[in-house]
Amino acid sequence: MPRMLLNKRTAPTLLGWGVLLLLVILIVLPLLAVLIQIFLPGIFFGELNFAGFGLVFDIFERKLWSKSLTNSLLLAAGTTVFGTLLGTMLAILRSTYHLKSRIILDFTAWALLIMPSFIIAQGWVLFASGKGIAVTFFGLDWMPSFIFHPIGLIFIMTLCKFPYAYLAVTAALEWNMNNLIAAARLNGANSWNSITTVQIPLLMPSLLSGAALIFMDAIGDFGLPASLAAVYSFPTLSYSIYSALYTAPIRFDMAGVLSFYLVLIIFIVMAIQLWALRKGSYSYISGQSIRKNAIKVRFGWLFDGFVVCCLIIMLGIPIGSSIVVSFMDTLGNGISLNNFTFRHYQQFFSVDSATLEGFFNSISIALLAGILGLIIGLLIGYVLVFTDFKYRKWIDSISVISLAVPGVVLGIGYIFIWNQQFLEAIHLKLYGTPAILVLASVAGAIPIAARLMIGAVTKIPPSQLNAAALQGAGFFKRMQSILIPLLRSSLLTAGLTAFGTSIFDLAITSILYPPNYITLPVAINKAFEDLNYGYATAATIISGSLVIVIMMAFKWFIEKGFTWLAALGKKERKHVINRTERIKEV
């Protein structure tokens, strides 16, 4: 009995320390390395020289640094305002009225959330450039001046990031609050007053969460400025950090300072969100609450038409432009039969295609990242929900912080940590090898997998695991026989999400890809930078379609294939038994 009690206490503690150590290695150390390098710029290269704190304030004196800061703040602030408004409006329409387009709207929101921004941005560049589809086919001569302007960039980013607010507000509107609105109306409030004084204030947590996610994702976005670099100069913090590492000489001081401000801004936004949520109470669900039912309206087709128009602009224009350009021999010759070709698709599948090689490399990296990220995410959920580990809050905080740390900052930290000479003696110098891409991709997949698994694990009562433990089942037995079967659907969703987002991670792979080793997003972005638009779009369409097919086939096999194989095996066993019985009778 004492040994059993000892094992029961020490096992969760060891598991908690193991998870915390993994998070420190994968996330905390790279982030600290970036911040330390600002004040001790040579510490990771054998020099211990304190540079002082003056370098931090140089951002206000150096033109490129200050321009990158102001551009990022302008882009993120504008995207937050308009993205929150658009997402909230669409969420209210979806939850209030019975729309036939609600399924398409949900699909578009998730597609934009998973799809990397550089693919959407490339589609808009092809649509709105001087010789693009908008000018040559539709005669919209004003489109280039609108899109290639800060207002146009905010417009594009709003269409990419609004799903954060849409999904957050949609979840909050699941429950009906008509009893509170009716009470306000009985006290003399009109419809507008009841919305502004009751409904919107009660939705404040969801609004703040969606707005904070939009701001953090927009200010750290690397795909949009990377796609615009070939046609429009708009330096941001993330792209200037990347440029500092790929110019001669390498500017680690610039990369460190800009990363410091990028992380500082994100932490300030998170702090403001937490402070605002603690200022009041937002609970409105009671024992009399019921789920909200969408109402049918006479002119519902008008709302459906508005939603469909929004979806065409959000997803139809950029994806449609990419599809059209992929079949064009030359972009400037317009849309005609003489300009129609399959050449770009044939190039993708050619023997010496670097993009095809990058596709298989990215699939391998994403597969490992998805599996390892899923395992770590499951362990994080287990520690937070089923154990009393002393430092659970640290684990939860680190997993949340990693969601806000941009990929470019994480990539720089990995260079500092894993490019050390002493690691070579123990065969752990990972910089310059594909292994560092796997580690960085795992770090990027952890926050997504952890958030999904924590929500799923909380639904399982601890009594089931405790009952198994009393029967002598160890940790791995409990995971195998209870936790994993009950979480099969959530595990599948989290794993596929981590896999899909890791394939097209442009920021991390652009900074960390080894020499003579290409990845899919880097190959597509290089083709776009070289103005080879047809090949870049064809590679995007083929690879995106193949990834979706792979994910859906795997999902079908897990959900239906195992059942089909089990039924087939059961039928075969029954056939063998019947045949054996007939032989015995003979």
3-state secondary structure of 97: strand
Enter the tokens of residue 118: 């550089």
pLDDT the model gives residue 76: 92
Report the C-alpha gap between 214 and 87 in whole angstroms: 10
pLDDT the model gives residue 10: 62
- Per DSSP, the residues of 527-547 read HHHTT-HHHHHHHHHHHHHHH
Confidence label for 231 from pLDDT (cuts 50, 70 and 90): confident
Q: Which of 115-124, 154-163, 197-206 has the lowest mean pLDDT?
A: 197-206
Q: What are the Cα distances from residue 448, in Å, to 102, 329, 395, 464, 499?
A: 25, 40, 14, 26, 10
pLDDT the model gives residue 217: 83
pLDDT the model gives residue 576: 43
Task: Judge if pTM exceeds 0.85.
Answer: no
Q: How far is CA 572 from the centre of its chain?
A: 44
- Which CATH architecture group holds 1-50+350-586? Orthogonal Bundle (1.10)
| The domain over range 53-341 is classified in CATH as 1.10.3720.10 | yes
Please provide the average confidence, as pLDDT, over all residues in the chain.
78
Instruction: Give the other-Cβ count within 10 Å of 128's Cβ.
Output: 24
Residue pair 411/508 in contact (Cβ under 8 Å)? The answer is: yes
Give the model confidence (pLDDT) of 145-197 as tens digits.
Answer: 888 889 999 999 998 888 888 877 776 666 555 666 666 666 666 666 666 66
Identical fold, 1-50+350-586 and 53-341: yes
Residue with tokens 């009594």: 463
Residue-range domain boundaries for the chain: 1-50+350-586, 53-341
pLDDT over threshold 90, residue 74? yes
Q: What are the Cα distances from residue 129, in Å, to 142, 321, 332, 508?
A: 10, 11, 10, 28
Q: What are the Cα distances from residue 226, in Å, to 34, 305, 320, 343, 419?
A: 22, 34, 21, 26, 25
- Which of 8-22, 245-259, 286-300, 535-549 is modeled with the greatest confidence? 535-549
On the question of a cis peptide bond just before residue 116, with omega within 30 degrees of 0, the verdict is no
pLDDT the model gives residue 21: 92
Q: What are the Cα distances from residue 239, in Å, to 226, 507, 511?
A: 7, 9, 11
Give the model confidence (pLDDT) of 390-402 as tens digits.
Answer: 888 888 888 777 7
Give the model confidence (pLDDT) of 236-285 as tens digits.
Answer: 888 888 888 777 777 777 777 888 888 888 888 877 877 776 665 444 44
pLDDT the model gives residue 290: 47
Question: For 371, left (φ over 0), alpha (ψ -120 to 50), or beta?
Answer: alpha
3-state secondary structure of 383: helix
Give the model confidence (pLDDT) of 456-475 as tens digits.
Answer: 777 777 777 777 777 777 77
pLDDT over threshold 60, residue 215? yes
Q: Which of 73-77, 245-249, 410-414, 479-483 has the lowest mean pLDDT?
A: 245-249
Enter the tokens of residue 253: 């001081």
Average pLDDT over residues 532-543: 87
Q: Which of 97-106, 174-183, 347-356, 513-522 has the lowest mean pLDDT?
A: 174-183
Instruction: Give the other-Cβ count within 10 Å of 365's Cβ.
Output: 26
Q: Which of 233-247, 414-428, 440-454, 567-581 has the lowest mean pLDDT?
A: 567-581
Angle between the N-to-C axes of helices 63-96 and 300-311, in degrees from 0 to 180, rounded to the nearest 10: 150
pLDDT the model gives residue 292: 53
Average pLDDT over residues 525-538: 85
What is the share, in percent, of the chain residues with pLDDT greater than 90?
A: 7
3-state secondary structure of 548: helix
Report the C-alpha gap between 516 and 126 in whole angstroms: 29
Give the model confidence (pLDDT) of 351-383 as tens digits.
Answer: 677 888 889 999 999 999 989 988 998 888 888
Q: Select the more confidently predicted residue: 12 or 366.
A: 366
pLDDT over threshold 70, residue 503? yes
Enter the tokens of residue 191: 């419809």
Q: Which residues, including other chains, have CB under 8 Å from residue 476's CB and lie 6 or more apart? A: none
pLDDT the model gives residue 110: 76
Q: Which of 28-42, 60-74, 281-295, 361-375 has the lowest mean pLDDT?
A: 281-295
Average pLDDT over residues 384-393: 83
